[in-house]
Amino acid sequence: MKILVIGNGAREHAIIWKLAQSPKAKKIFCAPGNAGTSILAENVNIGVEDIDKLLVFAQNNEIDLTIVGPEVSLVAGIGNKFRACGKKIFGPNLDGAILEGSKIYSKNFMKKYQIPTAAYRAYDDLELAKNGINEFSFPIVLKADGLAAGKGVLICENKQQAELALMDLMKHQKFGSAGNQIVIEEFLEGTEASLLCFVNGKSIIPMESARDYKRVFDNDEGLNTGGMGCFSPNSIFSDNNVNEIQTQILDKTMNGLLSENIDFRGILFIGLMFTSLGIKVLEYNVRFGDPETEVVLPRLESDFVEVIEKTIDGTLTINDLKWTDKMAVTVIAASGGYPEKYEKGFEIFGLDAVNEDIMIFHAGTDLQNNKIVTNGGRVLAVTALGDSLEQARQKVYQNIEKLHFKGIFYRKDITK
Ligand code: AMP
Ligand code: GLY
């Protein structure tokens, strides 16, 4: 089977690493890929939003299956485009992708189908939005409606901060047109968890849970990032709340998809907040999480190509997913300055020095003159499995120390 993976992060490297273990995967391409993906796949120099060129590539190279990593490709309509031409693709069409592409759509969806979520109001007018602030108590959460690379969520402690943030979003267009419409939301207190699920058109099948660390510095200080580390499983999941998640969130979400006639075949990644008033949905994403994928896929024992084919065919069941009891931890090595300004192009040393059982998934890397250099804010995801979380954590930290590039930094408190 010839498979095309779209994207260039550690998520896509982990997807390719898992696909490559399947005897069904005869040849894997990655567009555009990074230095890590080039070891297991053939990189193709086409951008993730250039869906016309991606389709031509898939047709000319007789690709049997295309797997979409990033949301931008899905929100640009790659699902519809490929399916219209009879090309098999893993990821929703536009009617499903809008669950991530528009926060207002997804909040209205949750309201309509009684899925527990933070109270909210939506606005497309700055003055009305400013008045809307008064309806909530502080802190409040402001969200750009459209895609903003995970940065469009602003938590404001007081009215002055909230008004400035609204100006940034709606007037100064800090996130471009993504902020033309916004959501004001009640702040939820609790413990977060990431739940990635396969959706096979008829049912939502959860994977093992994960916990992401979004802030850039230890003790959850500093700015929000794409994610600085992760572990799986997330200990907040227990026999006591499995039923609540199933009935209040998964069943109701599936009912909503079916009622709206959304034929969703791909990944639904549900961001959850465990609060004192129950488990609530923070957001839906319509693709694998990053760095969640780097801890969840190493724990999957089933043939990943088969799992994806069954999801597309509508036959996947929970029994098709076999997981190791081992726990996984990943820590992101990032470029100094991330998530703000950082430099690229620094040579990465020590990749060969790590122990054999350590998985290094490349995020922002490139090959230049046969050297692997930094090419992004998040550079490497270093993953280990262990019999306990502590063992996996120790393995990661013992090995990440062996990696060097100018400006490297990472959080020291992942799992804590
Ligand atoms: P989102 O992109 O909607 O998941 O938001 C990004 C991050 O902002 C989440 O992972 C949370 O840490 C935080 N966040 C979003 N919405 C809320 C909320 N209503 N209350 C508290 N924190 C939130
Ligand atoms: N780690 C969060 C995300 O992928 O959106």
Taking the domains of the chain in order of start, what are their residue ranges?
Answer: 2-94, 119-186, 191-320, 327-400
- pLDDT for residue 176: 79
Output the CA–CA distances (angstroms, integers) from residue 362 to 21, 184, 274, 376, 386, in the order listed. 18, 36, 31, 10, 21
Domain range 327-400, CATH class: alpha beta
Which of 138, 282, 290 to mutate for ligand 1's pocket (most ligand atoms within 8 Å of CB)? 282
In DSSP notation, 5-34 reads EEE-SHHHHHHHHHHTTSTT--EEEEEE--
* Cα 405 to middle of ligand 2, angstroms: 25
Q: What is the pLDDT of residues 377-407, one digit of tens each?
A: 999 999 999 999 999 999 999 999 999 999 9
- pLDDT for residue 192: 94
End-to-end C-alpha distance for the chain, whole angstroms: 42
SS3 state of residue 202: coil
CATH topology of domain 119-186: Dna Ligase; domain 1 (3.30.1490)
CATH topology of domain 2-94: Rossmann fold (3.40.50)
Ligand nearest to the CA of 288: 2
- pLDDT for residue 413: 98
Ligand nearest to the CA of 10: 2
Using DSSP bridges, classify how beta strands 182-186 and 265-275 pair: parallel, antiparallel or unpaired.
unpaired
Q: Give the chain's mean pLDDT.
A: 96
Ligand nearest to the CA of 107: 1
Q: Identify the residue whose tokens are 């898939």.
A: 58
The CATH number that domain 191-320 falls under is 3.30.470.20
Which of 12, 195, 212 to mutate for ligand 2's pocket (most ligand atoms within 8 Å of CB)? 212
Output the CA–CA distances (angstroms, integers) from residue 380 to 37, 201, 322, 360, 376, in the order listed. 12, 34, 27, 7, 10
Residues at CB less than 6 angstroms from ligand 2: 150, 212, 226-227, 285, 289-290, 292
The yes-or-no verdict on residue 77 having pLDDT over 80 is yes
* Cα 14 to middle of ligand 2, angstroms: 14
Measured distance CA(237)–CA(175) in Å, rounded:
34
Mean pLDDT of 66-85: 98
The residue whose C-alpha atom lies closest to atom 8 belonging to ligand 1 is 153
* 214 pocket-lining for ligand 1 (C-beta < 6 Å): yes
Mean pLDDT of 77-102: 98
Could you give the percent of the chain with pLDDT greater than 70?
A: 100
The yes-or-no verdict on residue 179 having pLDDT over 80 is no
Mean pLDDT of 204-209: 97
Q: What is the pLDDT of residues 135-176, one digit of tens each?
A: 999 999 999 999 987 678 889 999 999 999 998 888 888 887
* 126 pocket-lining for ligand 1 (C-beta < 6 Å): no
* 183 pocket-lining for ligand 1 (C-beta < 6 Å): no
- pLDDT for residue 259: 98
Mean pLDDT of 223-236: 94
